Amino acid sequence: MKERLNSAEIKHHNKQFIYRTLLALGSSTKTEIAARTRLSIPTATQAIEELTAAGLIEETGYQASSGGRRAVSFRALRNARLSVGVDVSRNHLNLALVNLAGEVVASRRIRTAITPGPSFYEDIRGPLLDFLSEESVRLSSLAGLGVSLPGIISRDQTKLLYSHVLGLDRPLGLKPILPEAGIPVRFFNDATSACMAELYTGTAPSDFCFVFLGNSVGGAFVNDKKILPGYHERSGEIGHILIVPGGRKCYCGKCGHYDPYGSALLLSEPAGGQLSVFFRGLEEGNAEYAAIFDEYLQHLALLIYDLGVMTDTPVILGGYVAGYLTPYLDRLSGLVRDLNIFEGSDNMILLSHYQFEASAVGSARYFIEDFISSL
């Protein structure tokens, strides 16, 4: 039996609802907000007064009169709080600054070598502080710092247990990046972060499989808009699905896993480490690149078919490679269709909204959602 909310919980819920509504509308009057939320005008008025006192909304003036007293308009101050996400990979840092509306205010991709040694935290901290300074962000305005890492993170957030991408073969202790600022920090797996970004858009299906096509392949399974972590926080290790028995050796030591057939490195390494160069060459008719990509799509189609048979849910493709797949989506869908034994399975392949900065955005938006939920 569902528990009834008490008056304090109802007030808390209504204030969040009104604030999210105002974020979506841009600006509105108390009467319009009450009508949109189906709450009473006194309830809307009280919430607006509290949100104004908290510095989260402001008056924007009067609306044009239709004969009576002119109504006051209010708008949400979208940048009253910000959150920053850092996605760490072997050769890059991706940084994203996100506001209360979930908008990416600024982003940066910095090419730099990251190794899990004594300089690990300073390698992140220096570029992060430079980024925040360039964007004139006060540390006190940050709701939190999310850090996305390519590996398995302990449930208690104290260790990066393993990371093939970073060359980590023993646990690395995790600690705050900006301890002097007192900013909340949380660490996420990169594929989980990218999936979170997709969920936060509000337009994703309730149930789906998420495939992260990065320098290593990961993923997540979503049920009822919630990511399923698994008993050991290892659900969605899609890169280790066996697709070619006895095939190529995976970084884990086993053979035939999907990762050595789906890693972004398969495409970037022949092009000097640049995916953009590979796909530009592909468009220009590079025969070597075309042969590599044909095989890549064949194995990706096989993976998507397997996931579809197991879950009967859409598959959303994210990560670095997905950012370049739009021109090839029909071709990929055709390959999956050729494998499929079921009717009515078209339109089950989608591309992520955030294709190049998803992990940074997802880890940042975690704190935005947490802040709004605390109102």
Write the DSSP assignment of 136-203 as a string of letters.
Answer: T--GGGEEEEEEEESSEE-TTSSEEEEBTTTTB-S-EE---SSGGGT--EEEEEHHHHHHHHHHHTS-
Given a contact cutoff of 8 angstroms between Cβ atoms, the answer to whether 48 and 70 are in contact is: no
pLDDT digits (tens, 9 = 90+) for 197-215: 999 888 889 999 999 998 8
170 and 39, same structural domain?
A: no
- Does any domain span residue 103? yes
Q: Which pLDDT score, from 0 to 100, does residue 177 have?
A: 86
Say whether both 155 and 123 belong to one domain: yes
Round to whole Å and give the CA distance between 366 and 195. 11
Task: For residues 227 and 270, state if they share a domain.
Answer: yes
Contact 39, 18 (CB under 8 A): yes
Does 68 lie in the same domain as 88? Answer: no
- Of 59, 76, 93, which one is at a domain's C-terminal end? 76
Write the CB contacts of 153 (distance below 8 Å, at least 6 apart in sequence): 159, 160, 161, 174, 187, 188, 189, 233
Strand partners, 163: 168
> Dihedral through CA 32, CA 36, CA 37, CA 38, nearest 10?
90
Contact 151, 252 (CB under 8 A): no
Query: What is the predicted pLDDT for the residue at 245?
Result: 94
Distance CA 148, CA 359 (A): 6
Indicate the residue among 28, 45, 76 that finishes a domain: 76
Over the stretch 223-253, which tens digit does the pLDDT of each residue have?
A: 999 999 888 777 889 999 999 999 999 988 9
Nearest to 238 by CA among 164, 152, 307: 307
Domain housing 296: 205-351
Counting the structural domains of the chain, the total is: 3
**Domain end (from 48, 76, 104):** 76
208-213 and 315-318 strand pairing? parallel
pLDDT (0 to 100) of residue 219: 93
Q: Which residues of the chain have pLDDT under 50?
A: 1
Q: Is residue 116 part of a domain?
A: yes
Query: Residue 31, CB half-sphere, CA atoms under 13 Å: how many?
Result: 6
The CATH number of residue 40's host domain is 1.10.10.10
pLDDT, residue 273, reads 87
Same-domain pairing of 240 and 277: yes
The pLDDT of residue 344 is 62
Cβ–Cβ < 8 Å for 267, 323: no
The residue whose two tokens read 């569902």 is 2
Res 1: pLDDT: 43
Predicted structure pTM score: 0.85
10-18, long-range: CB within 8 Å, 24+ apart, which pairs?
Answer: 12/375, 14/39, 14/43, 14/47, 15/47, 15/50, 15/51, 15/375, 16/372, 16/373, 16/375, 18/44, 18/47, 18/48, 18/51
Q: Is residue 278 part of a domain?
A: yes
Q: Is residue 160 part of a domain?
A: yes
Q: Mean pLDDT in the chain? A: 89
- Grouping H, G, I as helix, E, B as strand and the rest as coil, residue 249 is strand
Let me know if residue 147 belongs to a domain: yes
Tens digit of pLDDT for each residue in 55-70?
Answer: 999 988 766 555 556 7
Contact at 8 Å (CB) between 21 and 30?
Answer: no
Q: What is the pLDDT of residues 327-347, one digit of tens each?
A: 999 999 999 999 988 776 566
Backbone angles phi, psi at 30, to 5 degrees: -60, -40
